[in-house]
């Protein structure tokens, strides 16, 4: 998909070889560009509190190992290792408050 803007304010979009003329909204022009997901960064899927941490930097983990417990809405959620690896960086500790999508652990 390619776009070009001319003097009239219309933009050309080429989709599957067909060219379209359109006006783009400011919201579309100022949108956050797509970024591919980095699977080595474990993010909080919900805001909450870290109640237990079972790993530290440098520890080798296997897929399915519990890394920490995230309490959210009175539920204890186990955050597990998605693949075999080594903990590169711990960005949270016990009793930390985390927001949604905050990076908690980096695995390599």
Three-state SS at 102: coil
3-state helix, strand, coil in the chain (%, to 5): 5, 45, 50
Tell me, yes or no, whether 62 and 83 share the same domain.
yes
Q: How far from 8 is each of 21, 22, 24, 30, 94, CA to CA, in Å?
A: 11, 10, 12, 19, 57
Q: What pLDDT digit, counting tens, does each position of 92-107 carry?
A: 999 999 999 999 999 9
Q: Which residue has the tokens 């980096």?
A: 106
Q: What pLDDT digit, counting tens, does each position of 4-51 carry?
A: 555 567 888 888 989 988 888 889 889 988 888 899 999 999 999 999
Tell me, yes or no, whether 21 and 73 share the same domain.
no
CATH number at residue 46: 2.40.50.100
Tell me, yes or no, whether 24 and 56 share the same domain.
no
Q: Output the pTM of the full model.
A: 0.68
Number of independent structural domains in the chain:
2
Tell me, yes or no, whether 81 and 28 share the same domain.
no
Tell me, yes or no, whether 24 and 48 share the same domain.
no
**Owning domain of residue 16:** 1-35
Q: Cβ(70)–Cβ(54) under 8 Å?
A: no
Tell me, yes or no, whether 46 and 90 share the same domain.
yes
Tokens of 22: 């359109």
């Amino acid at each position: 998909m390619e776009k070009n803007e001319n003097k009239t304010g219309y933009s050309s979009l080429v989709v599957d070889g067909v060219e379209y003329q359109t006006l783009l909204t400011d919201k579309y022009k100022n949108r956050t560009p797509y970024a591919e997901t980095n699977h080595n960064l474990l993010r909080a899927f919900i805001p909450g509190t870290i109640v237990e941490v079972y790993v530290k930097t440098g520890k080798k983990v296997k897929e399915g190992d519990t890394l920490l417990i995230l309490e959210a809405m009175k539920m204890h959620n186990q955050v597990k290792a998605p693949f075999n690896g080594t903990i590169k960086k711990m960005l949270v500790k016990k009793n930390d408050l985390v927001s949604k999508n905050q990076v908690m652990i980096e695995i390599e």
